[in-house]
Structure 1
Amino acid sequence: MRAELAALALELFAERGFDETTVEDIAHAAGLSKRSFFRYFPSKEDVVFGTVESMADEVAEDVRGRPTDEAPWDCLHQVLRGWQHRIHTSERQLAELTLIDATPSLRARLHQKRDAMRAQVAEALTQRDGAKLDAFSFDVLTSAAAAALDAADREWLRSGGTADRGALVDRAFAALRP
């Protein structure tokens, strides 16, 4: 039901605009009460970002599971490239990113979510066996990795979703390699 509600909300956002679509509109279109909507999502924004928290946990776990002799930058590259492939194979992704890009409140929320995720991934890097860098260095690396993903997202959007996302991520990580 949660996935169906999110898909319906995305259709309404694309049709009417994010700010113009109310929770009541989404609930009514789904045949639910407003109260029922909030059982599935704590806010309207969470319809768009509902899976970010669980994804952050999984990305951090993937980082901790990488080979201990792998350099932190290479670890981030491999983990995030794999996640970008999983995330962006979804047909909804282009519509979601276009919506986020066109809506200032969603762009701000995306950056807030990514900051929290970045901090979680930086912490996971420090927990890897053989971690030799300090917290500041891990923060710099994860911030640079987030910038690489943002640049790849923007280029993918400019291409109308036709560019090879993996190649864009590789290119961005290569450009920022420490």
Structure 2
Amino acid sequence: MTRAEMGLRERTRRAVRAELAELALGLFVERGYERTTVEDIAAAAGLSKRSFFRYFPTKEDVVFGDVDDLAERIADDIRARPCDGDAWACLHAVLRDWEPRVHAAQRDLAGMRLIETTPALRARLHQKRDELRDRVTAALRERPGASLDAFTAELLTAAAGAALDAAAREWLRSDGTADRAALIDHAFTLLAPRL
């Protein structure tokens, strides 16, 4: 969606969501996730608790920003890819192209470490990943001319998810110095199906 297509109300909503997410992450890093309340985040933003919940359904969701929108856009990109290449190549190409935006949505090193060390956030991350994988699996099967059965599509999507997870963890181990795109390429190469 271009800026011209997005209305003022939607741009304002996204700006407030981004501000809330940034404030929340700062508070979580400073105070700890468990010790930071929704009231604390709302007060830091000059909002009421009720207003906070207009932007995010739960405290966990503030960490994940617009992941749902991002997931749908990735699925749309997969659906739009022609079936002239195999499904694994399609997943690799799409996820490689989206890597900078996925990385931006995951915030920074501090945010990723917060997620990795907070059980409630790790659980929410796994739920979000499962939802994304369901969308990607469906999108692989919906590509024009695709003839993937559900099992194969799900298996390829799970393998692609494992590649992304391993790349993200290696990036964390490197203290954010490793090239995330190169890690993704390497992971996809190592996991490439041998049919």
Instruction: Give the TM-score taking structure 2 as reference length.
Output: 0.87
Structure 2, gaps ≥5 residues long: 1-15
Correspondence for 1:77 among 92, 97, 101: 92
Residue 93 of structure 1 and its aligned partner are, at CA, apart by 2.5
Could you say which residue in structure 1 is the equivalent of 2:12? none
How does 1:1-178 map onto structure 2 within 5 Å?
A: 1-89=16-104, 92-178=107-193
Q: Residues 52 and 17 (structure 1 numbering): CA distance in 2 closer, same or farther, change over 3 Å? A: same
Aligned equivalents of 1:92, 1:146: Cα separation in 2: 19
CA gap of 1:173–1:67, structure 2 versus 1, over 3 A, is same
CA RMSD of aligned residues (A): 1.3
Q: Residues of 1 paired with 2:74 and 2:110: CA distance?
A: 23
Q: Which runs of 5+ in 1 are unaligned?
A: none
Identity percentage of aligned residues = 65
Range with bigger deviation, 154-163 or 77-86 = 77-86
Question: Would you say the 8 A contact 1:94–1:161 is kept in 2?
Answer: yes
User: Residues of 1 paired with 2:127 and 2:146: CA distance?
Assistant: 27
Distance of 1:89 and 1:115 partners within structure 2: 20
Q: Quickly say closer, same or farther: Cα 1:58–1:17, change in 2 above 3 A.
A: same
In structure 2, give the amino acid aligned to 1:33: S
1:20 & 1:121 partners in 2: Cα distance? 35
CA distance in 2, matches of 1:116, 1:89: 19
Q: Is contact 1:145–1:173 with CA below 8 Å preserved after alignment?
A: yes
Does the Cα contact within 8 Å between 1:8 and 1:30 map onto a contact in 2? yes
4+ aligned runs moved over 6 Å, structure 1: none
